Every structure is written in C-alpha cells, then in structure tokens.
Amino acid sequence: MTTVAFKNKILAADTKAIDDDGQSFRVHKIETLPNGTVVGCAGDSDNRDILTLLGKATLAKMPTKVKLSATKTEFQGLWVFPTGEVFRVEVEHKNRDGVSDWTAEILPILNPEAAVGSGSGYALGAMLAGKSAIEAVKIACRIDSNSGLPVESVKIE
C-alpha cells in the first residue's frame, strides 16, 4: 500500500507502488488540487474521480459519502486544507454475505499528526517520538515492505 504522514504543515509520502504481478515502480502520491487543498493518496492508482470530487469541495461543502462511494475506488488519503484542517478520506469495498457494498467517510483529524496506509502505525509512532513527517515516512519505509523511498513532501502554506 503506502505511507502518508502529516505533521507541522508538512505532508509526506513514500513513492513505491506494486502492481498485481508484484513488480515495484515509483509514483507520485501527493496531489495539489484546483481548490488549493493537498491530498496524500493511498489505494488504487487511478483515483481521478475521488480527486475531482475533493478538488471541487470546500470546508462548508464536502463531498457526500454517496458520491465518494459511487467512484468505486479503493482509497485512503489525508486531505489538507490551506487553513490547516486535516481530514482522513476513505473509500472501501466490502463483501458481506455475498453482497458487494462500497462505503466512504471523511473524518476530521484532531491530533497534530496523522498517517494513513500500511506503514501508518510506524509513521505515527515516529512522529509521536519527535520525528518530522518526512523522517517518519523514511522510518516506515525501512519497516513496511509496501512502502519505499524516496519520500516526497509538500509544505502547506
């Protein structure tokens, strides 16, 4: 999957991706959207529909869970507004008793640090121990086989 971390107005992410055949390659996981927000993405590599929804949103008018679910795109991300508000965005597919269902949520992050992805626990631990978001992602890359260097980052102004 990936590691995306946020602390002190820095959003950082690893750049490793793995295809269905197990081959690794490098991708950009941080996107600056037309509305001035920044998203650190984990999940499907084609998340254009989700980014389009987020790129048109405001703090007062967030995308609905129904619209996010309708994208049918596995996604986890940290969504940061220029004002400093941070949200966890998640869209996932569930199969319950043979019934396919897509769910979505946008949750405000209340802590000064946040992380998503397969290396998120390692990154959160590193940030709580005093490391920056960039250092935390580097540490997660050493431990989580689904995350890899180099790290990219954006400072939220």
Contact partners, residue 74, CB within 8 Å, separation at least 6: 43, 44, 91, 92, 93
pTM: 0.95
At 98 the pLDDT is: 82
In the sheet that holds 86-96, the strands lie side by side as 30-32, 38-43, 75-80, 86-96, 99-108
In this structure, is residue 157 part of a structural domain? no
Specify the number of domains making up the chain. 1
Domain that holds residue 123: 4-146
At 145 the pLDDT is: 94
In this structure, is residue 19 part of a structural domain? yes
Which ranges of the chain have pLDDT less than 70?
44
In this structure, is residue 115 part of a structural domain? yes
The CA-atom distances, in angstroms, between 131 and each of 7, 58, 78, 135, 150 are: 9, 31, 18, 6, 17
At 46 the pLDDT is: 87
In this structure, is residue 151 part of a structural domain? no
CATH of residue 132: 3.60.20.10
Contact status, residue 86 vs residue 78, Cβ threshold 8 Å:
yes
At 87 the pLDDT is: 98
In this structure, is residue 153 part of a structural domain? no
